[in-house]
Amino acid sequence: MIELEGVPELVDPVMVAAFEGWNDAGDAASTAVAHLDREWKGEVFAALDAEDYYDFQVNRPTVFMEAGVRKITWPTTRLSVVRVGGEKPRDLVLVRGIEPSMRWRSFCNELLGFAHELGVELVVVLGALLGDTPHTRPVPISGTTSDPDLARRMDLEETKYEGPTGIVGVLQEACTHAGVPAVSLWAAVPHYVSQPPNPKATLALLNRLEDLIDVRIPLGELPEDARAWQVGVDQLAAEDSEVAEYVQSLEEARDTAELPEASGEAIAREFERYLRRHDGGGPPAPGGHATADGSDSTSYLRDNPSGRTRPPKPPKPGTDDDESSDD
């Protein structure tokens, strides 16, 4: 039995979780939860025992000095709570940590124990993967769930993915089996510029989360950081004609495939977000990251210490390699 002391009764609580590692390309997901925690001044009320879930040779503890005394910070997963004000106040339970090295089922069961004790009504797990998406276009965000009723009610995709998965997929399925409504939001990060941070992907995740749980999220400097990030990548791409050509091919493929996105529904969603915001004022883990087909992928770094690595040429339409994967 999990006993929570000092945690007040929560109002319509939603649990929002993100984990560093394979599920967190560009650190986009973990940075999103860190942003929520910082903007709303979250108060940590629990931390999982690092001994139970982490291999310290993979995720090493760190030593620091405090008032002349050496201390150690152990890699773990922490839970904090924040209250979102406004006309319809609600509470968020924020879960931020590192993908565990072992005992994943016990890890998920412990998080679900907290969710049960706190009366959590919905679990939203954030993730980010590497994909063939150009940095110059809006970040694709896919929202998935295993619950067909929830998919219809919240305008989500019912997941059909088969293949390797990380803690995001395992936690979502654990929630489903426990009868807790659960959703995963995934941002696609350009594989040719995957090194963190990626404020544009973080911003896209927060915008989608805002729509999903109907709260107004203070964005702080994120929009400006996202614009600066894109300008910086534009400049890097302009220095290499082959990379610039590759980005152009991704843009053409994206624009052709997503022409229906300029629908009335998409425009209405953006307009609703605009009204809501103006109402009332106001390094990658070992093993690579998740990709659109579920496999591991190392980063395509333009300034790789071992030499400049160029992205692969996209397949030409009509070839055997011209296939898309369903996340």
What are residue 238's phi and psi, to 5 degrees?
A: -65, -20
Residue 258 lies in a domain: no
192 lies in some domain: yes
| Mean pLDDT of the region 269-281 | 54
Report whether 181 contacts 172 (CB < 8 A): no
- Give residue-wise pLDDT tens across range 55-91: 999 999 999 999 999 999 999 999 999 988 777 789 9
| Domains identified in the chain, total number | 1
What pLDDT does residue 319 have?
45
Chain mean pLDDT for the chain:
83
CATH code at position 187: 3.40.50.10900
User: What pLDDT does residue 163 have?
Assistant: 87
Phi, psi of 268 (to 5 degrees): -65, -40
- Is position 3 within any domain? no
Whether residue 301 is contained in a domain is answered as: no
Residue 197 predicted with pLDDT over 50: yes
Name the pLDDT band for 145 (thresholds 50, 70, 90): very high
Domain assignment of residue 92, given as a range = 13-221
Task: Give the rounded distance of the alpha carbon of 80 from its chain centre.
Answer: 17
Residue 139 lies in a domain: yes
pLDDT digits (tens, 9 = 90+) for 294-304: 666 544 333 33
Is pLDDT of 322 > 90? no
Confidence at residue 271, expressed as pLDDT on a 0 to 100 scale: 53
Q: Is residue 96 part of a domain?
A: yes
Structure confidence by residue, pLDDT tens digits, 6-60: 787 899 999 999 999 999 999 999 999 999 999 999 999 999 999 999 999 999 9
pTM of the model: 0.79
The verdict on residue 231 lying in a domain is no
- With 0-12 / 13-18 / 19 or more C-beta atoms within 10 angstroms meaning exposed / middle / buried, residue 281 is exposed
Pick the closest to residue 128 from 191, 201, 59 (CA basis). Answer: 201
Q: Is the pLDDT of residue 124 over 80?
A: yes
Domain assignment present for 189: yes
In whole angstroms, what is the distance from residue 134 CA to residue 132 CA?
A: 7
User: Using an 8 Å Cβ cutoff, are 83 and 11 in contact?
Assistant: yes
